[in-house]
Amino acid sequence: MWRDPGAPADSFYETRPECTDVPKSRFRIKAGKTLSARKWHAAFSPEGYLDIGKTLSRIHRGGIHPSIRGEVWEFLLGCYDPKSTFQERDEIRQRRREQYANWKEECRKLFPLIGSGRFITAPVITEDGRQVQDPLVLLENNPNNGLVIPTEIDFYLSLSWVKGSSQLNFLYIDNNHPSLDVIRTDRTLIFYEKKENLSKLWDILSVYARIDSDVGYGQGMSDLCSPMIILLNDEADAFWCFERLMRRLRGNFRCTDNSVGVEAQLSTLATITQVIDPKLHQHIEHIGGGDYLFAFRMIMVLFRREFSFCDSLYLWEMMWALEYDPDLFWMYEDDDDKSEESKGRLKSLRHYGKYERENMKNGAKNGEDPPLPISVFLVASVLKDKSTMLLQQAKGLDDVVKILNDVNGNLDAKKACVAALKLHKKYLKKVL
């Protein structure tokens, strides 16, 4: 189907016709700027080596064409080494697909609905620990789009494999919000009208919760996983792309009795704001927002709710390209093939993302702590942009939330990244 190359990319992610209030994408496919399929394929040598530096610069200029987004993301997230051959990647892909199939089978033996094409829409264990005999599941022949939705109570669906147990827990998280993570994720998209796509999402999250038992499943992971399923046809490939993303973000979902992982980034956001705009920080503290919890969602799901679906994908790939480290693949590999010769094959600065280069230039990567993620500076740039309004109009936290909610659907991904880079550079000069 021919599409106008200068048109918005929304047509690649079609929404249900009755959803008329969905924000329109600001991302436009631009010839000569957007990384096209032709430019992407031309970046590979005959053996399969990828010129990642040229690819990163193209993404900086105009994002990735939706038709190749999934396969490019696999490199940006460190699934594959740019200096691997076509054959080496095929072998890795096959090995990972087999690993995912084995994990899924293990999960199926413990909980037979996994991999069945159906999924739970109600808890199998009550809050007091009693097992529910007949949990509601997605059925094959149901007039309500194949869904059985509980009407007595609304809750978020949460998956967590209990350590040392063979049972999958479905726990109530919050009874005050009319939402179920899986069946409500990206519900405006036609893609999720198909039962098999919803079951893919449920299966991937279930398997991930099983293999990462320290973190399990946390609300918001479905928002991070959903694009992988849409962009990558093979469920196992989508799982591994999601798994690589979670290696970056899993700390946000790590919870204890006293804290939630994302609080560390919120604390960092407060520090950045105090350095960059001390007057705004003082005002936020004065009205009781010193913990910066109002920015929780932005950081937790990487602006999925502040941008249209298409623009959030554009934002993500811009961030990952800016943060790209050529040793990413080797940092994520669990095997022993991590020789200096293997890891040292890419050392030119042009193979690093612009954000990473700035960290290296200013010595931010030389300390014990890892460099701050660009997502925190994105939030800081939004606060900086709304500083005057926040100072004049925010008399309490409700006002802060309202002002920030007004940016939903009105942010420009590229401008946001440019602003974040400027803020990052300014911050490093002040603190290093």
Spell out the domain ranges in the chain.
Answer: 91-247
Contact 157, 170 (CB under 8 A): yes
Query: H or E segment at 160?
Result: strand 157-161
Residue 167: what pLDDT?
45
Residue 269: what pLDDT?
96
Q: How confident is the model at residue 179 (pLDDT cuts 50, 70, 90)?
A: very low
Angle at 225 between CA 291 and CA 146, to 5 degrees: 115
**Burial annotation 234-247 (CB, 10 A radius, 16+ → b, else e):** ebbbbbbbbbbbbe
Rounded CA separation 238/412 (Å): 27
Mean pLDDT of the region 139-143: 38
Angle of helix 235-253 relative to helix 69-76, nearest 10 degrees, comes to 50
Mean pLDDT of the region 157-183: 42
The yes-or-no verdict on residue 362 having pLDDT over 70 is yes
The yes-or-no verdict on residue 146 having pLDDT over 50 is no
- Which is more confidently placed, 270 or 7? 270
* Alpha-carbon dihedral angle through residues 351, 352, 353, 354, given to the nearest 10 degrees: -110
Helix (H) and strand (E) counts in the chain: 19, 2
Rounded to whole angstroms, what are the CA distances from 221 to 50, 185, 213, 249, 384?
30, 10, 14, 10, 28
CATH architecture of 91-247: Orthogonal Bundle (1.10)
Q: Which of 78-92, 166-180, 360-374 has the lowest mean pLDDT?
A: 166-180
Contact 358, 371 (CB under 8 A): no
Q: Average pLDDT, whole number, for the chain? A: 81
Q: How confident is the model at residue 257 (pLDDT cuts 50, 70, 90)?
A: low
The rounded percent of the chain whose pLDDT value lies above 90 is: 51
